[in-house]
């Protein structure tokens, strides 16, 4: 390994733009990269731009008829076919949709390749993590599923065990679906309960298809869960499964929409808890995957207050040069954020929270909805891995 992380970045990924009224504003990507530069994180990584994913790569996950539909919508948005999830409220068609989506996918695929062949110790594509896209349809702001494509490429290269850990507030349904019957992939999603949030999947009973029982793990958390509960749930499930599974590569998705200020969901997690999970994923990659770690972005719609700080921390942690929470946000970046969005930006790289939790071994509380959610996930998935629930 080179000893340095790869940060995948091409300014052209900001062309992934559903329009001015859509919550997934590409300014979140531009502001993240600008904050990375202002904090000097880019000096500790290799900034790499990869080509767009070609059709043979896209077909590792997506159907040819769907790729063709995306191409047609990309050329003539008004003629997008909603039977493919295109031209909808969530996924409006836009000129250049195929090219921008394939470019984001190409960054994640190239990042996976660099981690597997040793050119990079870790890799980050914060423009990626588009985990809702299905093999034959766009969904939930996602056109091509770069996370699933990166995993499929790893399998094509001969990797036998990939772990995918998704901590976006929404269930990682597209990645789960892509590998539902594949025993080589372990998908773990920690998300808001499907009874209160899109995509209404990710129930603990969803545990994998025939021959892959126990390979899908879903931790569905009650709305309102805050730092202590979110961290307790993560640590009660993820480390034990990874230790048992022994992945050769860890792929993680770090949607920032778990945050209390996110306008599209109902958890109450802080930036400090998000950072703590990033650090844990980094450590778990070294403990169980020889350090091979691909980290992706995902959701996140507080585009000034939360997303840039969260993903700047992710980049810094992957670089081995974490940014201290008390670090001041550069005034020049705050001015840029104000100029571009009209919003005042935070002053520090922290929400001032203590990211602590009670360990699962400290005891189970049957009266706690959080503990019942964790217990449900452990009961349905752990026995297939020889673990006690």
From residue 351, alpha-carbon distances to 87, 264, 298 in Å are 37, 19, 20
Is 120 within 8 Å of 72 (Cβ atoms)?
Answer: no
Looking at residue 124, what is its pLDDT?
Answer: 98
Q: What is the DSSP letter of 288?
A: H
The arithmetic mean of pLDDT across residues 199-227, rounded, is: 98
Handedness of CA 110, 116, 120, 126 (dihedral sign): positive
Rg of the Cα trace of the chain? 19
Lookup result for tokens 């959610």: 373
Handedness of CA 243, 244, 249, 252 (dihedral sign): negative
Q: Is the peptide bond before 319 cis (omega within 30 degrees of 0)?
A: no
For the segment 221-234, what is each residue's pLDDT rounded down to a tens digit?
999 999 999 999 99
Tell whether the model's pLDDT for residue 194 goes beyond 60.
Answer: yes
Rounded to an integer, what distance in angstroms lies between the CA atom of residue 289 and that of residue 373? 28
CA 237 to the chain's CA centroid: 18
From residue 180, alpha-carbon distances to 218, 245, 342 in Å are 13, 16, 43
CA 308 to the chain's CA centroid: 14
Is 42 within 8 Å of 311 (Cβ atoms)?
Answer: no
Is 3 within 8 Å of 123 (Cβ atoms)?
Answer: no
3-state secondary structure 160-174: CCEEEEECCCCCCHH
Tell whether the model's pLDDT for residue 311 goes beyond 60.
Answer: yes
The arithmetic mean of pLDDT across residues 121-137, rounded, is: 98
* Strand ranges in 203-324 using DSSP code E only, listed in sequence order: 216-221, 249-253, 293-296
pLDDT band at 299 (very low <50, low <70, confident <90, very high): very high
Rounded to an integer, what distance in angstroms lies between the CA atom of residue 214 and that of residue 191? 18
Is 278 within 8 Å of 313 (Cβ atoms)?
Answer: yes
Other residues' Cβ atoms within 10 Å of the Cβ of residue 43: 11
Q: Is 215 helix (H, G, I), strand (E, B) or coil?
A: coil
For the segment 337-365, what is each residue's pLDDT rounded down to a tens digit?
999 999 999 999 999 999 999 999 999 99
Looking at residue 205, what is its pLDDT?
Answer: 98
Measure CA of the first residue to CA of the last residue in the chain; give whole Å. Answer: 37
Handedness of CA 147, 200, 270, 373 (dihedral sign): negative
The arithmetic mean of pLDDT across residues 169-182, rounded, is: 98
Looking at residue 1, what is its pLDDT?
Answer: 47
Rounded to an integer, what distance in angstroms lies between the CA atom of residue 389 and that of residue 212? 18
- Distant-in-sequence, close-in-space partners of 78: CB < 8 Å, separation ≥ 6: 87, 93
For the segment 135-169, what is each residue's pLDDT rounded down to a tens digit?
999 999 999 999 999 999 999 999 999 999 999 99
Residues belonging to the active site:
132
Burial-class residue 89 by CB neighbours within 10 Å (0-12, 13-18, 19+): exposed
The arithmetic mean of pLDDT across residues 36-47, rounded, is: 98
Burial-class residue 359 by CB neighbours within 10 Å (0-12, 13-18, 19+): exposed
Looking at residue 180, what is its pLDDT?
Answer: 98
For the segment 328-341, what is each residue's pLDDT rounded down to a tens digit?
999 999 999 999 99
- Distant-in-sequence, close-in-space partners of 335: CB < 8 Å, separation ≥ 6: none
Is 300 within 8 Å of 259 (Cβ atoms)?
Answer: yes
Tell whether the model's pLDDT for residue 2 goes beyond 70.
Answer: no
């Amino acid at each position: 390994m080179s000893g340095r992380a790869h940060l995948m970045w091409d300014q052209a990924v900001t062309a992934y733009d559903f329009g001015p009224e859509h919550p997934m504003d590409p300014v979140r990507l531009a502001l993240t990269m600008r904050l990375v530069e202002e904090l000097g994180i880019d000096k500790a990584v290799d900034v790499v731009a990869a080509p767009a994913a070609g059709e043979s790569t896209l077909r590792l996950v997506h159907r040819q008829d769907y790729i063709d539909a995306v191409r047609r919508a990309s050329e003539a948005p008004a003629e997008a076919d909603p039977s493919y999830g295109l031209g909808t409220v969530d996924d409006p068609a836009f000129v250049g949709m195929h090219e921008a989506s394939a470019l984001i996918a190409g960054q994640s695929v190239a990042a996976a390749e660099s981690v597997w062949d040793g050119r990079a110790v870790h890799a980050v594509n914060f423009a990626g993590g588009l985990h809702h896209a299905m093999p034959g349809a766009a969904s939930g702001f996602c056109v091509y599923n770069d996370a699933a494509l990166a995993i499929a490429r790893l399998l094509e290269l001969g990797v036998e065990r990939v772990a995918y850990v998704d901590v976006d507030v929404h269930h990682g349904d597209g990645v789960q679906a892509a590998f539902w019957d594949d025993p080589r992939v372990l998908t773990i999603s920690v998300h808001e309960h499907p009874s209160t949030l899109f995509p209404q999947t990710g129930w603990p009973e969803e545990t994998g298809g025939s021959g892959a029982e126990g390979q899908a793990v879903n931790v569905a958390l009650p709305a309102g869960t805050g730092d202590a509960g979110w961290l307790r749930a993560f640590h009660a499930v993820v480390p034990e499964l990874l230790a048992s599974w022994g992945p050769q590569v860890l792929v993680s998705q770090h949607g920032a929409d778990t945050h209390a200020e996110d306008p599209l969901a109902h958890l109450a997690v802080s930036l400090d808890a998000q950072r703590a999970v990033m650090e844990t994923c980094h450590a778990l990659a070294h403990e169980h995957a020889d350090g091979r770690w691909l980290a992706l972005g995902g959701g996140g719609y507080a585009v000034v207050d939360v997303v840039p700080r969260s993903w700047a921390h992710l980049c810094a942690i992957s670089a081995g040069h974490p940014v201290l929470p008390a670090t001041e946000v550069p005034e020049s970046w705050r001015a840029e954020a104000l100029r571009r969005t009209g919003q005042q930006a935070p002053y520090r790289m922290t929400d001032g929270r203590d990211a602590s939790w009670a360990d699962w071994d400290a005891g189970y509380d049957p009266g706690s909805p959080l503990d019942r959610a964790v217990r449900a996930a452990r009961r349905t998935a752990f026995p297939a891995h020889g673990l006690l629930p």
